[in-house]
Amino acid sequence: MAVYNRTREKAERFSKEYGVEVARSPKELADKADIIMTMLSDSDAVSSFVGSVMDYLGGKTLVDMSTIHPSVSVKLAQEVSRRGGKMYDAPVIGTSVFAQQAKLTVLLGGPKEGKEAVEDVLKATAQTVIYVGPNGAGLYAKLVNNLMVGVYVAALAEALEFGLKAGLDPNVITEVLSKYTSASPTTAGLKLPKMLNGEYSVQFATKHMRKDLEIIQDEAKGLKSPTLLSSLALQLYRISENMGYGELDYSAVKEVISGKRR
């Protein structure tokens, strides 16, 4: 087992903590591993990395856990296949808390043949692995989830502010929305305390929610699918990022509703 990071210090820190070898280059990583797993920031980062190892992927399996444009992932998977390798998209549902508890859900897209070996590796950090379909399917399923969650948390922030302005007790609002609502009490239970306390330690960063909603807008154009609510939510997360909340939890969208700048 080996680890590679463009920032060598991060790879060395990971190596010391988990006792794995540090690869000095993407080529060395490909030489040392039959299954290569990546989790990167965006489509450009994934394209750059896959391009750097493309010539060494014959007989290898690449599992990309990033949330990127499905159309980009599909094109990369086709190129990997031409080189004699396999590629899977495997984005996750769950926050950093779920990752620490090994309770993530992975949405797997790619070739059916050989997926069992990939699922076995993913189960080291995931509670559930769902095979969704061919390349790109895992990413589309992830975007379906994040479209809903992004819109929901923005609505949650607006509902909270409305209740506070109406003079309701914050504890009553929290109880109603986290226990008795017909919407999503789990998400409300996680995000309402953050909004009420103005404590936005990151579970999922604002900049990542903004990025995912932008991907949804890009992909929806080709699909000719209307995105009325998610496009509005995107504007709120963009404003939140511009207000200085980009690195903090996306529940900081509450401060957009309240009009508070960092």
Chain segment 12-28, per-residue pLDDT in tens? 999 999 899 999 998 99
Verify that 118 and 217 share a domain, yes or no: no
Q: Are 161 and 72 in the same domain?
A: no
| 76 and 50 in a common domain | yes
pLDDT at 64 over 90: yes
Report the DSSP pairing between strands 61-64 and 86-89: parallel
CA–CA gap between residue 184 and residue 182 (Å, rounded): 7
pLDDT at 102 over 90: no
Structural domain range at position 254: 141-258
Average pLDDT on 40-45 reads 95
Q: Tens of pLDDT along 163-216? A: 999 999 999 999 999 988 867 778 889 899 999 999 999 999 999 999 999 999
Q: Is residue 28 part of a domain?
A: no
d(CA 16, CA 1) in angstroms, rounded, equals 13
> What pLDDT band is residue 101 in, cutting at 50, 70 and 90?
confident
Number of domains in the chain: 2
Looking at the fold, whether 198 and 160 belong to one and the same domain comes out as yes
Mean pLDDT across the chain: 94
Residue 82 lies in a domain: yes
Q: How many CB atoms lie within 10 A of CB 72?
A: 21
Q: Where are the alpha helices (DSSP H) in the chain?
A: 8-18, 26-32, 43-53, 70-82, 96-100, 115-122, 137-165, 170-175, 185-197, 206-223, 228-240, 253-258
DSSP letter for 84, please.
T
Q: What angle do CA 146, 150, 156 make, to 5 degrees?
A: 140
Q: Are residues 102 and 154 in the same domain?
A: no
Active site residue 142: yes
Q: How are beta strands 35-38 and 61-64 bridged, if at all?
A: parallel
Last residue of a domain, one of 86, 106, 134: 134
Same domain, 158 and 241: yes
CATH number for 80? 3.40.50.720
Q: Is residue 96's pLDDT more than 80?
A: no
Closest residue by Cα to residue 37 from 67, 4, 75, 15: 4
How far, in Å, CA of 89 to CA of 139, rounded? 6
At residue 61, does pLDDT exceed 90? Answer: yes
83 in a structural domain: yes
pLDDT of residue 99: 81
- Which of the residues 60, 86, 142, 207 is marked catalytic? 142
Q: Are residues 196 and 117 in the same domain?
A: no
Instruction: Tell whether 68 and 146 lie within a shared domain.
Output: no
37 φψ region: left (φ > 0), alpha (ψ -120 to 50), beta (else):
beta
Q: CB–CB of 42/210 below 8 Å? A: no
Task: State what percent of residues in the chain have pLDDT above 90.
Answer: 84
Give 73-85 pLDDT, tens digit per residue.
999 999 999 999 9
List Cβ neighbours of 224 (8 Å cut-off, separation of 6 or more): none
Q: Say if residues 183 and 157 touch (Cβ distance below 8 Å).
A: no
Mean pLDDT calculated for residue range 98-125: 93
Helix, strand, or coil (residue 145): helix
β partners of residue 64:
38, 89
CATH number, domain containing residue 211: 1.10.1040.10
Domain-located, residue 6? no
pLDDT of res. 185: 76
pTM of the full predicted structure?
Answer: 0.86
At residue 186, the pLDDT reads 83
Give the residue from 119, 134, 149 where a domain finishes: 134
Regarding whether 175 and 252 lie in a shared domain, the answer is yes
| pLDDT attached to residue 181 | 83
- pLDDT tens-digit profile of 202-256? 999 999 999 999 999 999 999 999 999 999 999 999 999 999 999 999 999 999 9
Pick the closest to residue 245 from 254, 161, 154 (CA basis).
254
At 181, the amino acid letter reads T
56 pLDDT more than 80: yes
Does 214 map to a domain?
yes
User: Using 50, 70 and 90 to split pLDDT, how confident is the model at 134?
Assistant: very high
pLDDT band at 147 (very low <50, low <70, confident <90, very high): very high
Amino acid present at 153: V
Region 155-160: what's the mean pLDDT? 93
